[in-house]
Each structure stands twice: as C-alpha cells, then as structure tokens.
Structure 1
Amino acid sequence: MSAMFTGAWTEDIQFAGFVEGAFGNDKAKQEGKDKFGIDYQRSRAQYFQVHAMNNTVLPRVGISTDLIHQNGSAGALKGLGFDDTTLFSIGAIGLINPQYTAGAMVFPNLAYTVGQVFGESADGYMANLFVTQQIGDSGAFIQAWPEYFKVEGDVVEMESRSFNIMFNAPIKSNRTQWLMTKLEYGSSDVVTPQGLHIDGDVELKAEIGVKWFF
C-alpha cells in the first residue's frame, strides 16, 4: 500500500512525498513458502523539498527526510523477542542539470541516519540516486534508484542494499489515474543485540497497481 504527493509552495520551491506500508504472511519466511497475508511488516515515509538556485550544475538544491519503521516480530524474526527498528534520516538532495544527463532528472541524495535498531541506539548514513526519464508525451515515465544505508551502534548493526525500478503511465487523459509497476531487488544484513549475525536473503519483489491523484 502506498501514496504519493507532489506540489509547489512557491514558484521556486517544489516538494514531493511518498508513504508506503508493507504487509505479508509471517509464516511464509519461516516455512519457506510464498503466501499472501496481512501481517504488518514495515512502513516508510519520505519528504523532499528543493529550492531554485542560480547554479548551472545544481539548479535545484534542498533537503530530504526519511522515516523507516520495521516490525521487530515480522517474518523470520517472529517469536524471537526483538524490539522494533525505527530510523530517521535527514540530508541534502540536489538536481543535476539535465543538460549533463541526456535530459534525465538525476537527484543524488546523502543523509545522516539515526534511531534504534531492535531497540538499541545506532546511527550512520544513507545514500540514494534518483533517476527519472520521461517517455513520450503522455506523461509516462520510468524511475530507477539504487539505495544504500548502514547504521551501527554499540551492540547492533544494519546494512541494506537495494535497487528499485518503477514505471508509471496515465490511464486517463486528465492524469488522475495511473498504472504503477515496481520491481525491487535487494538484501539487508543485521547484527542483533545478542551478537547474532543475520545475513538476509536477496529478495526480488514485484508490485502492480493503480494510483489516484486528486
């Protein structure tokens, strides 16, 4: 489940946000089977704001915020007694002049991350590269973004790598309904407060749905 919003505070200040929640079947991981379910797994909320700058290389620069929450008893962790993981990131984001990127909108983002992993304090950093390319004149576009983040504490550690690609196309001419498809490929490794190293399996996730804009 996800939602997206975009807009502008002024002619020179634009913003965008994204909220998503993931649900699944906790027993699927434990039993090694693919199953549908409605058990809460994780959620994420992102907000980006950029300001027009008088700069030929980075014509727009701004801030990014990112809040990640993971259920400590979801999936393979169910029944192990772990607390939830909550991480907040704040950083800088900028638009590289499309003249240098063959017309693609390229936004590098680097952020400081702080919070709790399984209830233990940790901090680190997150790096993303958002690339968006328009397709034709209908408004359809393809977006790809690699992401890496790593946080460490006295007794915990979390490292995540992922690559996402998304295709959006309007279903109606007024662009109020959009077809959305997304592929996510990645893995996450953690060290628990008890010193247990858990190397996450590489996962490939596919999503398809419809989004409404109001």
Structure 2
Amino acid sequence: MKMTLPKTLLALSLFQPLAAFATETKNEPDLADLTKVSTALTLVVKDDSSGVFSMEVSGKYSADVSYMLHAEGEWNDKQEYSASRYQFYNVMNTGVSFAPKAGVSYDYFRIYEDNDYLDVDMHAIGFVSLIPISKSWKINLFPQVTYLDATFDFKQNGVRSTLGTMLAAYLSKYVGDNGSYFMLFPEYYKVSGEGVEYEKQNINLSWGSTITDDKKWWYILQYSHTEEELSLDGMSDGLVKNDIFKLKIRRFFF
C-alpha cells in the first residue's frame, strides 16, 4: 500500500496564523503578539499554488478578557477545496508580571486532501502565553501546548482514532517603529492510536510589515521546513520532507 501523505495533514499552527490585535492606545495592528485579537481577512498563497482564505471576528467580554472567532477554507495545488478550520479563541490578562497574558482556544479542523485515500478530522484544545524576554530588544516568547484528538478515515482501511500533542515556541522581535516584526517558531506534532502513528516537525521563519500608512493592509512572508511521517499498521513510506514558501495579505478592520 502506498502511504501518500496529504500535503496539509495536520498543518496547523493554532495561534500564529491568527496573530492580529489592536494596541491598547492606538488601536493599530501588531502581528508580533499572539495574545491579542482583532477583526481581519487574510489571503495566503503558497509556492505550489495552494492557499487559504480566512476571516476573524473579535470582541471583548470585559477590559481584561477578549475573544475571537476564526474560520478558514483551504484549496490544494489542483485548485480544489481541501480543508476547513474553525476556532474559538479567548485571551485574558493574568496579572502576573512574567506572563502577563494567556490565551486558550478550541479548534475543529477537517482535511479532505486525498479523497481517494484519507480524510482527517481533528479537535484541539490549546494554551499559549506571553513571556516578555527583553523590553529593550523588543523580544517576546510565546510557548504553546495543545491536546489533539484526531480521526483518520483511511478509505480502504477504515476509521482510526488517535490522541496526541502539539508543542511550539514562538520567538518574535519587533523591527523598527512601524510594527514590522521577525518571528522564529519550531513546532512538533505527534498523534498515535489504533495502528496509526503520525509525527511532524516544522521550523518556520516569518517576516511581516505594513503596506499602507494607516496600517490596515499588511504582508507576511513565511518559510517553513517540514519533516513528517505517517504509518498505518506498521507500514510507512518513510520520512517526507518539504520546503514551503507563503505570502499572506491581511486586511484589518478597526
């Protein structure tokens, strides 16, 4: 049996794609902080002509607690609809100096990438926090841990249930005074169960800056190196490596 990996299999950064928020005083976007939210539309185009379109709607419960609703659809390199994702994200002030903000999310993610081989349904509960590293150097760290419950529907071999985790660390640095930023973030996924073993590692580099003076339009350039392996009942095609380039265009609504 040929173990062909869908290109988008669990390709999920639970917080980084949603990085958008309004500052406390100026209500301007700042994409280097993952623990604040905003309302925006995003178009992502990858170097293989696949991509994503998403939207976020945000609001506040109180001065210290905010929320965001996120929805997205993805198309593959054949220009076919291939995946969908929905997230409910809450952010709160903690009152703790070394970790002043934290976010908790629930995600539902479905992949239709290879309809003749495999569909994936995933539920995820994630936690992320803001840890200021250096105020003078404008560097922040965002550790993330996520619990995953994924169902693999192998069309020829039945439905298999798996459990696992995702671990990530986002290191961001502001560049200049207009909100431009650089971000480095490694990610690690692993799920297993009922004869399925899936493991993935990502190393990601991202650069973002504003396009317009009013800071409503932004671009983000991202490079990702991924290594992943999927096995079913002990059978695998081995480690699959990919290098992915993305261009993201974001439109904010204040």
State the Cα deviation string for residues 13-40 of structure 1 (Å, max 9, x = none): 2456765544334xxxxxxxxxxx3033
The counterpart of 1:96, out of the listed 131, 143, 155, is 131
Distance 1:120 1:45, change over 3 A: same
Q: Matches of 2:70 and 2:204 in 1, distance apart?
A: 14
May I ask how many residue pairs the two structures share in their alignment? 196
Residue 44 of structure 1 and its aligned partner are, at CA, apart by 4.3
Q: Secondary structure at the match of 1:174?
A: coil
For the residue of structure 2 that corresponds to 1:96, the secondary structure is strand
Structure 2 residue aligned with 1:85, among 100, 120, 123?
A: 120
- Specify the alignment match of 1:205 in structure 2: 244
Aligned to 1:166: 206
Letter in 2 for 1:179: Y
Confirm or deny that 1:61 pairs with 2:102. Answer: yes
Cα 1:122–1:103, aligned 2, differ >3 Å: closer, same or farther?
same
Aligned partners of 1:50 and 1:93 also within 8 Å: no
Task: Could you tell me which runs of 5 or more consecutive residues in structure 1 were left unpaired when the two chains were aligned.
Answer: 26-36
Shift of 1:209: 4.2
Q: How does 1:1-214 map to 2 (within 5 A)?
A: 1-3=52-54, 5=56, 7=58, 9=60, 10-15=62-67, 20-25=72-77, 37-71=78-112, 73=114, 79=116, 82-99=117-134, 102-118=137-153, 119-192=159-232, 194-214=233-253
Deviation at 1:89, TM superposition (A): 1.4
> Which structure has greater helix proportion?
1
Tell me the SS of whatever aligns to 1:56.
Answer: coil
CA RMSD of aligned residues (A): 2.7
Relative to structure 1, the CA distance from residue 175 to residue 140 in structure 2 (aligned partners, 3 Å threshold; closer, same or farther) is: same
Q: Deviations over 1:115-159 (max 9, x none)?
A: 202331110111111222211111212222211111111211211
Q: What TM-score do the two structures reach when normalised by structure 2?
A: 0.67
Q: d(CA) in 2 for partners of 1:165 and 1:14? A: 28
Measured against aligned partners, the alpha-carbon deviations of 1:99-126 in whole angstroms (never above 9, x if no partner) come to: 4894322110111111202331110111
TM-score (norm 1): 0.77
Contact 2:53/2:72, CA 8 A, preserved across alignment = yes
Identity of matched residues, %: 21
Separation in structure 2 between the aligned mates of residue 191 and residue 85 of structure 1, nearest angstrom: 14
- 1:64 deviation in Å? 3.0
Which consecutive residues of structure 2, in runs of 5 or more, have no partner in the other structure? 1-51, 154-158
Cα drift, residue 90 of structure 1: 0.6
Cα gap change, 1:106/1:54 in structure 2, threshold over 3 Å: closer, same or farther? same
- CA distances 1:71-105 after superposition (whole Å, capped 9, x unpaired): 2516xxxx4xx341122211322111334894322
Say if 1:88 and 1:101 are closer, same or farther in 2 by CA, change over 3 A.
farther
